[in-house]
Structures are given as structure tokens and as C-alpha cells.
Structure 1
Amino acid sequence: MKRNIHVLQIAFTYIGTIVGAGFATGQEILQFFTQYGRWATLTIILSTIIFVWLGTKMMLIAHDISARSYEDLNKHLFGAKAGKWITWSTLTVLVGVNSVMLAGAGSVFVEHLHLHYQTGLLITLIGTYLLLNKGIKAILHMNTIVVPLMITISLLLVHSTLSMPNPQSFITNTTDHSTLRTWISPLLYTSFNLTMAQAVLVPLGSQTFSRRTIRWGGILGGIGVGCMLMAAHFVMSAHMPGIQQFEIPMGSIAYQLGSMVEIIYIVLIFMEIFSTFVADIYGISLQIRQHIQISPKLITLFIMLTCFLISQFGFSSLLSVLYPIFGMLSLMWISKLIMAGRRRPFHSSRPHSSFRHSDSKPDNTRHG
């Protein structure tokens, strides 16, 4: 039972890390899948396979090399010198992505709570600062609550869509986009999200004692991401093309189920954005603390201030411009992860962490 709980914690944290601002609001799924019509069903299946395979592999490698942060993983994949440059490039991208998530929180407050954009940003930043002191345990516990609720609401939206006049739209909608663009989109999407998720998944894999727990957590997490992708695509397809005009399309669909469902869904969207933002800021701060010996609180404040300034450009504009660019850059990182084999880790010290549980005997053979 204890091991199963740990598996679910990893699975929910994996799902919660991928389900950030773009995913939870529906914008990300709209950009990378739903706009491609019936082909999106097949590209989502492809994405699910990649999430299961490479997400699990990333956590297992991090576990095997005792990675302190994602820089250690990058050094393992690219070598010490190139890995360092890749790490700082990834850091820059992560800051940009978290700025998008912060902007998404502001959009939630404007579009559905009728409050000021800056109010959403400040509440998110203050809450993040307060939670970061609790480390990865707070991230695990938060996702264990938020992700099951998000899955439940997604199922309600699917059930509601089944009673609409055109629930089969997800397999009948057409697209004007080329075949090449249609099939490159899921590769960009998965490579981008996995590259960004390393800030959370690397310390999670490293700080989990059992490889079996990591493996099953990764499998369930990847399948969970795929099911949520398919559910959101199914729901939004029935509302195409009008749904494209909204900053938060899934929230607009939830509105049709009544004010109570809409309020719950909007709160969950915010919580998904918030939990991913907290987790990524945690991962970024771990990375910077390996090189800069100043107060962790000052590092956190500087990262959040940077995200705040970038987020002033707005949510959908940042999402549509930055994500495809980041996806292209991530393809190189993913190709290295795919080719990564069993070789000796570049360091053998294993960090102490309270999340390492003795829920099973450790493997005697270490894989680098």
C-alpha cells in the first residue's frame, strides 16, 4: 500500500508538471492538437507513448546518477562542458515558460473572476514564495489533491459533450494545415514539455528510493497525461472553430455546465498553473544554488521578479510565439535522451533526501 501511494504521488506530480497554464486552460492543446482536426487523435496517441517512454527514462537516469539538479542530467547526456551550456540555455527557456504560466494566472483572474490582471500575478507570486520553503514534499502533496480533481472535472466535461449535436467532431473536423506540420506538432509538444519537466522530474527521480516505484509512476503519469489530452481535445473539437477566440477555452466550455462547475474548474485551472509554477521555480532555484552562494530566498525573489516582468506581454501572445520556438530547441535535448544508454555516471555521491523511502529493496546493480 505504501509503495502504491508513492507510485500515485509520482504519477500525479508528473501529470501536474505537464498540465501547466497552456494545458489546463486549453490553449496549449488547441495550438498543438485540436486545430489539426481528426489527425489530432492519432498525434495524441503518439504523444502519450513518448510521455510514457521518455518521462520514465528521464527519472530513472536521474535516479541512477544521483542527480542533484537537471544540470547533472545534462552533463550526463552531453558531457561536462556542453552540458553546462545546455543547462543555462534550459534555464533561460524555463524562465520564459514560467512567465507564460504566470501570465495564464493573470488571465484567469481577468476573464473569469473579473479582477485585475496584476492581482492574479501578485497572488500567484506571494503563494509561491510561501510554499517554496517546504520543498518537494509540498509539490507532491499539492498534486495529489489537484490532479484527481482536474481529472474528475475533465470527465464531467466529456460527459456533457456527449449530449451535444456533434460529439464526433474530434474525428470528423478537417484542417488546412499540411501533413508535415500536423505530425511535427506532437514531436515539438512532447519534446518541449519533457525538456521543461526536467526541473521537477530530475529531483523527483533522484530522491525516490525504488526504481520500480519510479517506473510505474512514470507509466501511469504518461498515460494520465495522454488521457487528459484526449479528453480536452474531444471537448474542444465539438466547439470548433468558435472556441479559438477565448484566452481560456476550457473555462469557457465549463461555463455552459453552470456557474458552480465553472467556478470549480476555474479554481482548478489556477491551482494547476500554481502547482506547476511552484515546482518549476523550485527546480530553477536548485540549479542556480549550485553555482551562486547567496540566500535561496533572494534567488527565488529574483526569478519571480523576472517572470513577473516578462508576463506583462500577456498569456496567449507569449504562448503562441514562445512555445513553438522552445519546442524546436527541445528536439535536440530529446534526441540525446533517446540515445542515452547505460554508462557510468560522472559522479557517485548520493544526496540525502527525506523523500527516499525504504518501500522496497534497492537494486544492487546501478545503471548510469
Structure 2
Amino acid sequence: MPENKTALVFKIIALYAGTVIGAGFASGQEIMQFFIKFGSRGLAGMILSGLIFGYLGLILMTLSTSRRTGSYADLLPLLMGEKLARFIDLVSLFMLPGGLAVMLAGSGAVLHEQIGLAPMTGAAAAAIITAAVILGGLQGVALVNMVVVPVKIIILILVCTLSLHVHGIKIPQIDPVAGTKASFYWAWSALLYVSYNMIVPVAMLSSLGAHVPGRAGALGGLAGGLLLGLLGLLITLTGLAFYPAITGCQVPLLFVAGQLGSLWQHGLGLLIWLAILTTAIANVHGFASRLAPRGGWPYRVLGLLTIAAVYPLARLNFAGLVQILYPVFGYAGLVLMLALLLAPVRELRRRRL
């Protein structure tokens, strides 16, 4: 029985939000580095990034559904031409398993800190759950996100709104960058933040093109991006209210939750682990759907082999993996973001020829 439009839109929103709300987003660390440190200008930057997320989601799903794409390999040539598409494709084939390694190491680190599990045991827990989800195919990936993503969002909203209610909304005056151009850095930071987060959503959402009608896809992509902006805005407001106390924290929202009590701290720890898990699933799905766009057992086998091959890398230092791999994510994501921003112009020129 085919899904109704509302269910499809909700599925796309969950998949889009689930890939972006990773450990960095859920911990508040990404938001602090890209937005909170700019003070009131950071709020403007987050609003801009939310609008860009919404626009990119709309364009990405419109192109994917109109071309009935099965993976990002079907989409990239439309965005940037064959030569550059082959290069980004090659980079992505390394980055997606690399992102999985980061998430498995992150799972080990979080579960070790929260409940004392050995790091490799915590990594194994994420690997086993990810494997089980991949065995369920695209429907399994979508189902997990439709269940887990609302939980992540609810925890984020509760921690932030309760903290703001208790502590009050305060927007300190911060001028982090010296020089006459400081007033423009918040906008550049917003662009960098979106580009940094676009690799995995492109891999995830482009795999839906052959399974989703155009209107539902476009609406889901737009709504998912705007939702990310609203959540980011809430985290930015919360971070500003606790500034500068959070500046020395590795996990700023964990400090914020601690002001509400230990129960909220544990709840936020669960949120961060769930964020790691959904990002791990998205990385494996993006990689497997690229090599087996028609799904089925080839997709499942490739997904399981990828998890098995990457699992030993979880022994590496989590922070070290992030420092090595995430700058590459940012540069490749910048190319993708620019290509998506210019996609309507490119499509218009193609139709005129």
C-alpha cells in the first residue's frame, strides 16, 4: 500500500534532520564555534543558515525526484558536470566510510563516559545496531530515523526551553574578530556551516529520488532544512544565555543540562549517542546506495562489509579522526553547496539550449 503524502514528507524531514543533527550539533559544540561566538550576529547567521538549508533541501529533492535518482552518483553530473562529479564521487567514497569510523569511535567515547563501557564495546554496540538497520534496506533506514529523530528533537527542545525559562534569555555583546570586516564574518560562517554539513544529506536524500513523488520531496526537503534552522536558533539562544561559562566546555549543552539536574545530563548523553547512531547509519546507507543503487541484497551485503571493514578504525582517537577528516568534509561540501545554489541557473540554461 503506497504511503500518503504526509507520511512521505515526514520521512524526508526525518532523514534530512537526522543526518545533520550529529554529535557536533546535539552537543552544541558546532553551534558555539560557528554562531554563538559571534553574539547577536550569530543569531542572524543561524537564520541565514536555516534558510540556506531549506533552499538546498528544496533544490536537492526537486532534482532527485525529477531525475528519479538512486544515489548521489546520478545527481552529481547534473550539478557540476562529468569531470568534477567524478572527483567529488571519488572523495565521497572515502569520506562516507571515514565518517562512519568517526561515529563508531564517538559511540565508544560517549558510552565509556556515560556508563563506563569499554570504548570498543561502545563502538560495537553502534556497529551492530547500524548493521541491523541496513539489513532492513531503505525502509529500515527511514523507519529508524522516523522514530529516533523526533526523540532527539524533543530532548533538544526540552533542555533548551527549560534552561531559558530558568536562566532567562540574555544576548551578550561579543566582538570576537578584530578589524573592520568583523561584521561580515557571521555570514561567511553560516555558509561554511551549511557546506560542512551537506555531504551526508546529499548522499542520503539523493537515494530517495526514485521512491518519492516530486511535491512531497520538495516540501520535505524545504521543511527539513527550515527545521534545522529553528533548532539551531534555539541552541544559539541557549548558548548565548550561558556565555561565557560554556566557552571552556567540550560539550556545551551538557553543561547547560547540568544546571537542570543529573537526569537531564543523562538525557542529553542519550541524545548525543542517538545523534551519533543516526549519522553512522546515514554514512553506511550513502556508501552502500552509491555502489548498489537498486538496493536488495547487494546493498545489504555492501553495507555489512563496510561496517566490518571500518570497525577496527574505531580504536583510533575520536578527536584525532575529527581533526583529520572533517576539514575535508568542509571543502567537498563547499563545492556541493555552490553547485546546488547555482542548480536552477544551470537547469534554466540547459532548457534554453
TM range (shorter): 0.7 to 0.9
Contact 1:191 1:330 survives alignment (8 Å): yes
- C-alpha change, 1:12 and 1:25, in structure 2 (3 Å) is same
> CA RMSD of the aligned region, Å?
2.8
Alignment of 1:186-335 (within 5 A): 186-208=190-212, 210-289=213-292, 296=299, 299-305=302-308, 307-320=310-323, 322-335=325-338
Contact map agreement 1:146 1:268 (CA 8 A) in 2: no
Task: State the alpha-carbon separation in 1 of the partners of residues 245 and 32 from structure 2.
Answer: 12
Quote the residue 1:20 is aligned against: 22
Deviations 1:250-306 (A, max 9, x none): 234223323333333322321222122112201101212369xx9555533443245
> 2:156 is matched with which residue?
154
1:30 is displaced (CA, Å) by 2.2
Pick closer, same or farther for the CA change 1:260–1:131 going to 2, 3 Å. Answer: same
CA distance in 2, matches of 1:204, 1:298: 20
What are the equivalent positions in structure 2 for 1:90-109 lying under 5 Å apart? Answer: 90-109=92-111
Match of 1:137 in 2: 139
**Cα deviations by residue, 1:309-367 (Å, 9 ceiling, x for unpaired):** 444443344435543442133222222222224759x9xxxxxxxxxxxxxxxxxxx9x
User: What is the DSSP-based 3-state SS (H/G/I as helix, E as strand, rest coil) of the residue aligned with 1:279?
Assistant: helix
Normalising by structure 2, what TM-score?
0.86
Segments of structure 1 that go 5 or more residues without pairing to the other structure are 347-365
Q: How far 1:195 sits from its partner (Å)?
A: 2.6
Summarize deviations over 1:3-60 as a string: whole Å, max 9, x none.
Answer: 2222122112211111112112222222222233322101101101111101111111
Does the CA contact (< 8 Å) of 2:60 and 2:340 recur in 1? yes
Q: Distance in 1 between matches of 2:178 and 2:73?
A: 37
Of Structure 1 and Structure 2, which has the larger fraction of its residues in helix?
Answer: 2
Specify the alignment match of 1:41 in structure 2: 43
Match of 1:74 among 66, 70, 76: 76
TM-score (normalizing by structure 1): 0.83
CA, structure 1 residues 307+240, in 2 after alignment: closer, same or farther (shift >3 Å)? farther
- The alignment-based identity, stated in percent, is 30
Q: Tell me what 1:53 maps to.
A: 55
Separation in 1, partners of 2:239, 2:116: 23
Relative to 1, partners in 2 of residues 1:205 and 1:66: Cα closer, same or farther, differing over 3 Å? closer
Q: Which moved more, 1:235-244 or 1:50-59?
A: 235-244
